[in-house]
Amino acid sequence: MNLTRSKKKDLLYVAVAAFFFLTACVLQTVDDYISDWSVKKTIALLTQYIFFGLLAYWTASVISRISDKSICSGIIVAIALMGVILFVRLLKYHVFYEETATRYLWYSYYIPQCIAPVVLLLTILGMGRQEGRPLSKGWYMLFLPAAMLIILVFTNDLHEQVFSFAEGLEYSNKIYKWEWGYYLILSWMVGLYLSIGVLLYVKCRISWCRKKAWIPLVYAKLTPQCQINLVLINITM
């Protein structure tokens, strides 16, 4: 198969991005086995710089390649939410060490995790619509259950219906159990990503794209960050 110069250039960019992504993942894994604080800090910062650099590149690529303003905005918001996950993780593991602070940073993961699939679903629903024709306002009601789930997580210290702590809050980051609230949130995210996968298949006009639309159906078994990453890849390619 002959590749055009433009296609070769795109593949090169993807290969370089994949190299940096895998490098960051390796550094993140190695970081867990290093006891020296200064080395650990350096690796953590380097990893975050790589991830944020990839997000910045991806954002610029989306802006240059997608002409539909609503779809472009939706994807950029989802990328920004990925950045929030990375930033919160940096704060939790390398800035704050007090138990209460790290616990609430842990809870903060669920802000982008609950909002991102709603943003992506609304973005995909808007695909193929005539420019300037808005999406029905009823769809935006999906943010309401997302907000309620976030509140459920942030009030967990009062009811422990998302995570329970058998040894008390002072050991909350080490000893905890998933409760029905956690599974409710997980079901919410899985349901939305399943819907996204189905919509991608239905809306993709290109057979090659349709063959890849099954990917979001396995996101429930992946980390939240990868979930967002892979959905965005399906939209932008």
User: If you write DSSP's letter for every residue of 22-42 in order, what string do you get?
Assistant: HHHHHHHHHHTT---HHHHHH
DSSP code of 57?
A: H
Q: Name residue 177's beta-bridge partners.
A: 164
Instruction: Establish if 67 belongs to a structural domain.
Output: no
Instruction: Establish if 100 belongs to a structural domain.
Output: no
Structure-token pair, residue 138: 């009823």
Domain of 182 in residue numbering reads as 117-236
pLDDT tens by residue, the chain, 237 residues: 556 666 667 677 778 878 887 887 787 777 767 777 777 778 777 887 888 888 787 777 767 776 767 777 777 888 888 888 888 888 887 788 888 899 999 999 999 999 988 988 888 887 766 555 677 788 889 999 999 999 999 999 999 899 988 887 777 777 788 899 999 999 998 899 888 888 877 766 544 454 444 444 444 444 444 544 444 444 444
Residue 172: its pLDDT value, please?
76
Torsion (CA) 212, 218, 219, 222 in degrees, nearest 10: -120
Question: How many domains in the chain?
Answer: 1
Instruction: Establish if 151 belongs to a structural domain.
Output: yes
Residue 216: its pLDDT value, please?
45
Instruction: Establish if 133 belongs to a structural domain.
Output: yes
Instruction: Establish if 10 belongs to a structural domain.
Output: no
The length of the chain is 237
Q: What does the radius of gyration of the chain's CA atoms come to, in whole angstroms?
A: 19
